[in-house]
Structure 1
């Protein structure tokens, strides 16, 4: 519902199905949630769905965002991860990370996995959901020293400001 709201779309079953055909009651990785709820996730169908949406967006000259449901190494099912999906779709990524103690190591490790797999990193977003002891501006400075030529954006999340922050990001791409 939050995603539809941010897109100014009505919250109805048709729009929910079009936006997110694979949904689960449990907030877990897709492989875990599907196992608990006894619903299979067919990787080929996920790829087909995404490719169809990519072609639609290109025809309409629109931007399409495909969310990575928790990170690139998250299992989709027993055989595939989000990284496999990114590779299969041959798309670049907007890498989203959070600002916390340890995030630099986690972020640089993940970015290295993308680099090893020849995946283009379009930009990096650092989310700050809550106040913490790690300064988000300092995190950006440290991260930038290791990610030359990749734009880094800071999102200091406040629900009302999020929409305009997203609009600004999309305009710069």
Structure 2
């Protein structure tokens, strides 16, 4: 089984770009890839292609139809807030057991097809999914290797180190860290990496410079595969 969980120190820092780029690069290397984005807040039924799930499907060469989005993202909520709150606004509740079973079923069937599974989380690693579970609990339940995406904005160092501490304390230390440079980064990317490295054990750190927006932005990303170990 080869499965990875892409999580982040916060929201809007590049998890979807990282996941799309990894999928694109694995496919270019001849590897079968399966992407899941099981939970999504801020989903617009009228524009599935613009959603995170739509972007991930496009990176796999699949048309981002509503049906295709539903296949990889069963739990979709309209409000762009934490899933527990977004679900409550719709009179719904995310079933944590069903969520984990959905992921495990895909991991099992992908293993039989020798596919690498990339699961993109939602929000930051401690964002609530239900009244009692967070993304960190989801990662722990699946028992797969997490990759932590950290931003490059002012405050990202504290957020990144805090996320690492929280994950390590829960027995899910990141396999690697990808530093996704922000457009308003106050310091160069190598300084952010150097500072993180001083406070963390020796784990792979991969730099993702800020990329100009484009329809297929994931194709412009540098080699991120070292993050997979």
CA deviation map 1:56-90 (0-9, x unaligned): 22222222121120111110011111111111111
Pairs aligned (count)? 172
Please list every run of 5 or more consecutive structure 1 residues that lacks an aligned counterpart in the other structure: none
2: distance between equivalents of 1:70 and 1:163?
A: 23
Partner residue in 2 for 1:165: 221
Give the helix-richer structure, 1 or 2: 1
Indicate how the Cα distance of structure 1 residues 36 and 172 shifts in structure 2: closer, same or farther if over 3 A, else same: closer
| Alignment of structure 1 residues 29-68 onto 2, 5 Å | 29-68=82-121
TM-score (norm 2): 0.69
Structure number with the bigger relative contact order (C-alpha 8 A, sep ≥ 6) is 2
Q: Retained in 2: the 8 A contact 1:91–1:120?
A: no
C-alpha deviation, 1:129, in angstroms: 3.5
Give the strand-richer structure, 1 or 2: 2
1: distance between equivalents of 2:87 and 2:170?
A: 27
| 3-state SS, counterpart of residue 52 of structure 1 | helix
Indicate how the Cα distance of structure 1 residues 103 and 51 shifts in structure 2: closer, same or farther if over 3 A, else same: same
TM-score (norm 1): 0.90
2: distance between equivalents of 1:13 and 1:21?
A: 11
2: distance between equivalents of 1:13 and 1:60?
A: 25
Q: CA RMSD in A?
A: 1.8
Q: Retained in 1: the 8 A contact 2:175–2:227?
A: no
C-alpha deviation, 1:110, in angstroms: 1.1
